[in-house]
Amino acid sequence: MARRKDRHDDVWADDIWLDDCGDKVVDSRKVRRHRKAKSSYFTLPTIRKTLFFVVPAAALAIGSAVLLPWVYSATFSDRPEAAPSYYSAVSADDLADPDTSVSLRVPSSDLIDSGYLALINRHYSLPVMPSRTEMKSAYPSLPVLREDIKVHSTVYDALADLLEAAASEGVGPFQIISGFRDYEHQRRLHARNPRSMFSLPAGHSEHHTGLAVDIVPSSATPGGGALSIQLDGSSECERWLTDNSWRFGFILRYPEGRSNITGVAFEPWHFRYVGSPHAYYMWRYDLTLEEYLQRLATEGIIEVVHGERRYEIRYFDDSYGTVYVPEGRDFLLSNNNSGGYIVTAWTYQ
């Protein structure tokens, strides 16, 4: 009977045996298994298994290398970096040079903010309260109810033009019964009837900006009862204001049937200055300020031809902190107070 050689023998392995005569015998079964193990990497089943895992992995790696740059570009193509060809990015230090004629990509905080398109309603308050010293007195040049009524200086000039046009067309007379209101004034007004749909909480009133005014026919006064009872928008004077105020940069801020959007009941006397061409566009397409700003944010750019000017109105998301200023054109910038900036540039036709 064959006996197995000791394991400590370095010459013979477990596949070598000694028979009864002392001769070496090779275990052919183990040899076959060893040979099979050495050659199994090149068998057809093994190759198939290898290809099954390797080919998809290689395809995934190649696909990622090709598609990822395209996906990144498509995802972020709306960022300010993807500006039209006539925009270029340069250092914000060039702002210090008044003769600079190149386009600028600059921090929005470094530009003059007109605020004409600031959204102020029940959801968005005015973060910084202007003071009365920043406003211009409407008295005695404009027809006002009280001598202490003040408005934004831009609104003052626009109101003078509007009232002059109305008089020349035989409409009126009108009276300005409210303009700028400070925080305390609005707080007292709202406290009289906190649930009123005609009054907003302090900090949320457009009157804080001086850009909003209440204009009524001279026959209607606060002493004659609530304005909502006296005025319904149907008189000749009221209709003229609604139909013509856009010519001077004003919009009827709280139109009839839109309280679900504006949060305020119909006020045929409340007009807000937004400037051209915004007032024209909103009048033409029957949009509230909320709807107009939403359209701008959605479309990104709106072009308007109005009078002798061709306007390009662009929206920039405030999260980037920078805006593009166009080359060789006049422009205005306004924070919309709801997450973005609007740059209004124009050329003459």
Alpha helices in 21-43 (DSSP H): 28-39
pLDDT at 47: 56
Q: Which of the four pLDDT bands, split at 50, 70 and 90, describes residue 252? A: very high
Question: Is the distance from CB of 249 to CB of 279 less than 8 angstroms?
Answer: yes
Q: Which of the four pLDDT bands, split at 50, 70 and 90, describes residue 102? A: very low
For the segment 227-239, the average pLDDT, to the nearest whole number, is 87
Give per-residue pLDDT as tens, 7-57.
444 433 444 444 455 555 544 444 444 444 444 545 555 555 555 655 566
Residue 135 above 90 pLDDT?
yes
Residues with Cβ within 8 Å of residue 131, at least 6 apart in sequence = 182
| Residue tagged 């009941």 (tokens) | 265
For the segment 239-245, the average pLDDT, to the nearest whole number, is 96
- And the tokens for 192? 């009289």
User: Measured between alpha carbons, how far is 248 from 280 in angstroms, rounded to an integer?
Assistant: 9
pLDDT at 199: 87
Residue 161 above 50 pLDDT?
yes
pLDDT at 64: 58
pLDDT at 58: 65
pLDDT at 53: 59
Question: Is the distance from CB of 275 to CB of 331 less than 8 angstroms?
Answer: no
In sign, the C-alpha dihedral spanning 56, 58, 61, 67 is: negative
| Residue tagged 């204009």 (tokens) | 215
Question: Is the distance from CB of 106 to CB of 181 less than 8 angstroms?
Answer: no
Residues with Cβ within 8 Å of residue 165, at least 6 apart in sequence = 244, 247, 248
- H/E stretch holding 135 reads none
User: Measured between alpha carbons, how far is 250 from 242 in angstroms, rounded to an integer?
Assistant: 9
- 10-14, 139-143, 219-223, range with greatest mean pLDDT: 139-143
Q: Which tops the pLDDT comparison, 39 or 79?
A: 39
Q: What is the mean pLDDT of the chain?
A: 78
> Which domains are delineated in the chain?
3-42 (no CATH), 124-283 (3.30.1380.10)
Q: Which of the four pLDDT bands, split at 50, 70 and 90, describes residue 71? A: very low
CA angle 159, 163, 164 (to 5 degrees): 115
| Residue tagged 């040049």 (tokens) | 141
Return the bridge partners of 324, or none: 105
Residue 80 above 80 pLDDT?
no
For the segment 100-114, the average pLDDT, to the nearest whole number, is 64
For the segment 292-311, the average pLDDT, to the nearest whole number, is 92
pTM for the model stands at 0.70
User: Measured between alpha carbons, how far is 96 from 99 in angstroms, rounded to an integer?
Assistant: 9
Residue 142 above 60 pLDDT?
yes
For the segment 75-87, the average pLDDT, to the nearest whole number, is 32
Phi, psi at 276, each rounded to 5°: -90, 145
